[in-house]
Chain A
């Protein structure tokens, strides 16, 4: 199969996948108590504030707006309107009790927090586990390996809300060296102090996420490295008299990187979605936090948009992982 045909097949796959997700998203929220995607509640509450609080009046305006935007139309027409809105990133307006304004700008405002936290911790976890995995593979069977294997397996299985609660208990409430709620802490700062406060508030969620995500990378890196260490070229390198360090961290690591890198690329796709619990626990105002808050505050347009966007990110990351895998390992392209 030529590279063009391969790419075309992948792109069509992405479009179909996103269409299915958007459809699930649509029908899921149809049964929600409040499904007024695309309506700015400010629009229909403005004439009422300060004049007369007449319920019938509100109801009339509401009906008008619903009619104008096609919400009195049959399901299939609504579905088409919705699909168009999703694929043009027109997510409507926040209707929750906290946020207001267009959903897309809300996402724009809070996504950077998530990218900073998740991206940073995933990268740190990736690099730590690259070295730790090779080291463990080298020391395979020794107590050092067993201890690090069991410890990281433990972290891997640790629920994020547990690790988060424990960190908050110790560092925020006992030692009092970190804020228990990130947003509440750094929102009172401005200028340079704000960025410092953000970094300070990030320490706990960052540690928590790094500890959790090291495990997955480490397990893969270790098992690949064990295979690589047993390969002939390593014996040749040893025979050449290369230093152990250089063999391990240059040759073995490089050869063992591919599966871990794939998982890393896929994890980067989950960067926007993966930390609902950690962000909620630490009050870190990223998209994970708003995934939870959108439900709590019944801000369904926001929830729909986040759902769509994080799915899109995962699909794109998988796509990139596929492509780069092919580029990095020529055997895949041939196969």
Chain B
């Protein structure tokens, strides 16, 4: 039968085609992973923790969940700005230095800079040099996390002991939440990148602060039944107009002093509770990104292990079948042993050994492929061998031999074409086992590598099963990696059966 006919038969086989489509789908996903994802799989807080997939918001239960919101503008013309009576300010358009752009929430280097200068009278404990407010409307359910901050560039500070930046949020009902403040010690400016310790003079300082996302049990708080809360859920649990107030305060001036500073990029970021195609995990990592990159490992390991083991099995099976003797006996004995070796325990031990060695651990998945191939070739060799043995007895091979054909000719012209059906079917049918084992190893030892895989995703989800119950079960985290493993495995099984039917016609019609 020609390849064209075989292809025709395959196309007609509904099960085989369905499997092929699923495999192509995941393969394309694996190949184009960089173009399908916008976040690195390990990047935390691309949205809030436990964000549901965006499309799930069509379910009434998830309606009105906040997306990622940039609540305030970095355009100072939209802020209500008050300065101290002896102060003046100006707003300029500038280009921020490139090393700063990555720190800001706004991706453009073009920014507005607000420069304030003020005399500070003596004897006052706090002088609010700058007091600016931005009103924004929030109409969603409370988010799990928010972050706020600004860039500040202290230019001059004389005769004052401290410079504060103070963030306050005023809820629609008038309740005032002091978010935080930072100090600058004017007498001895310290150069420290950690912002808790102070601002750096004559440089851009990025102030960044985020609300805590560790769920806290608040039994005394709120309506009964609300046992889990985070600061953001308390502060943002109203709908209406919030006002963010940013104050820069000069502190304690024993003699008349002077202060000048620039401000850029004030922001208040509300992390979404709905994000992307597959939502986020407990640390706000993009699960779609993990899912897409995870398909790479599954497909690579599955296909490579299958190709290696079938190739090895084919060669050894051919030799054993054609020439018999020691190789045949050896193949049979090795097969006997390998068929009873407990696969997973052995793989666990080997994985452990690999992780002990930094060099081997670097290419962990390659060595897993090698292990899978070593453990799997014998059963394929056995199948090939028995096929070769039965082919050898056929009349046309005897005829060919009588005509003076050598072993090599017979193998090439008669044996190989006739075992290819088996080879194709085995190629497809051995993949699911490798995919499942690889995923199982990742599940058991998620720390063995940092590569995102479906097994590792499920392992992390399982680790957080207890808290998942409070977050709509994190169903998007549990369901999709598992479903993908099942679908991809089944797809290979379906293709394998279809190929088997085509190449072994006795099965056809059953």
Residues of A within 8 A of B (CB): 13, 16-17, 20-21, 24, 28-29, 31-33, 153-154, 157-162, 164-166, 168-169, 172-174, 180, 226, 269-270, 273, 276-277, 280-281, 291-292, 295, 303, 306-307, 310-311, 314-315, 318
Contacts and interface: CB of A to CB of B under 8 A. Distances in A.
B468 A315 contact: no
Nearest to B352: A295
B388 interface: no
A277 B444 CA distance: 7
Given A17-B337, A20-B337, A157-B490, A168 B342 contact: no
B485 interface: yes
B11 interface: no
Nearest to B344: A276
Interface in B397-425: none
Given A153-B490, A306-B345, A159 B440 contact: yes
Interface in B306-346: 333, 336-337, 339-342, 344-346
A92 B426 CA distance: 42
23 contacts: A16-B337, A17-B340, A29-B349, A154-B490, A157-B432, A158-B482, A159-B485, A159-B486, A160-B440, A161-B462, A165-B461, A165-B465, A169-B468, A169-B478, A173-B465, A180-B465, A277-B443, A281-B462, A291-B348, A310-B342, A310-B345, A314-B342, A315-B340
Contact of A161 (B333, B350, B458, B493): B458
Contacts of B341: 21, 24, 311
B336 A161 contact: no
B370 interface: no
Nearest to B348: A295
Contacts of A311: 340-342
Contacts of B458: 159, 161-162, 165
A28 B353 contact: yes
A85 to B, nearest CB: 18
Nearest to B342: A273
Given A157-B490, A174-B469, A162 B482 contact: yes
B185 interface: no
B261 interface: no
A158 B487 CA distance: 9
A313 to B, nearest CB: 9
Nearest to A158: B486
Given A153-B490, A226-B510, A277-B444, A169 B465 contact: yes
B466 interface: yes
B337 A21 contact: yes
B473 interface: yes
A21 B443 contact: no
B336 A159 contact: no
B312 to A, nearest CB: 18
B117 interface: no
A307 B486 contact: no
A307 B462 contact: no
Given A157-B486, A159-B485, A165-B478, A292 B348 contact: yes
Contacts of B466: 173, 180
A276 B348 contact: yes
B356 interface: yes
Contacts, number: 125
A69 to B, nearest CB: 23
Contacts of B52: none
Given A159-B458, A173-B469, A174-B469, 19 more contacts: A17-B336, A20-B337, A21-B340, A28-B349, A31-B353, A154-B486, A160-B440, A161-B439, A165-B462, A165-B482, A168-B465, A173-B468, A174-B473, A269-B340, A277-B444, A291-B348, A295-B349, A307-B349, A311-B342
A189 B356 CA distance: 39
Contacts of B352: 295
Interface of B: 333, 336-337, 339-342, 344-346, 348-350, 352-353, 356, 432, 436, 439-440, 443-444, 455, 458-459, 461-462, 465-466, 468-469, 473, 478, 481-482, 485-486, 489-490, 493, 510
B350 to A, nearest CB: 7
A277 B440 contact: yes
A160 to B, nearest CB: 7
B336 A13 contact: yes
A311 B350 CA distance: 16
A159 to B, nearest CB: 5
B333 A16 contact: yes
Contacts of B486: 154, 157-159, 162
A32 B348 CA distance: 13
A161 B340 contact: no
A307 B336 contact: no
A173 B344 CA distance: 28
Among all A-B residue pairs, the 4 with the closest Cβ atoms: A162-B482, A314-B340, A273-B342, A161-B443
Most buried by B among A16, A159, A180, A292: A159
Nearest to B440: A277
Most buried by B among A153, A295, A318: A295
A275 to B, nearest CB: 10
B460 to A, nearest CB: 11
A267 B473 CA distance: 34
A280 B333 CA distance: 33
B485 to A, nearest CB: 5
Most buried by A among B344, B466, B473, B478: B344
B338 to A, nearest CB: 9
A292 B348 CA distance: 8
A181 to B, nearest CB: 11
A31 B353 CA distance: 8
A162 B356 CA distance: 27
Nearest to B349: A28
B350 A28 contact: yes
A291 B344 CA distance: 10
A174 B472 CA distance: 10
Contacts of B439: 159, 161
A159 B487 CA distance: 11
A16 B329 CA distance: 13
A321 to B, nearest CB: 12
Nearest to B481: A162
A28 B375 CA distance: 14
A12 B489 CA distance: 38
Contacts of B469: 169, 173-174
Contacts of B490: 153-154, 157
Given A16-B333, A159-B436, A280-B444, A291 B482 contact: no
A291 B345 contact: yes
Nearest to A172: B465
A280 B339 CA distance: 24
A28 B352 CA distance: 11
A15 to B, nearest CB: 11
Contact of B342 (A157, A166, A180, A307): A307
Contacts of A310: 342, 345
A318 B340 contact: yes
A172 B473 CA distance: 12
Contacts of B436: 157, 159
Contacts of A270: 342
A210 B350 CA distance: 29
A8 B349 CA distance: 33
B315 to A, nearest CB: 22
Contacts of B350: 28
Contacts of A314: 340, 342
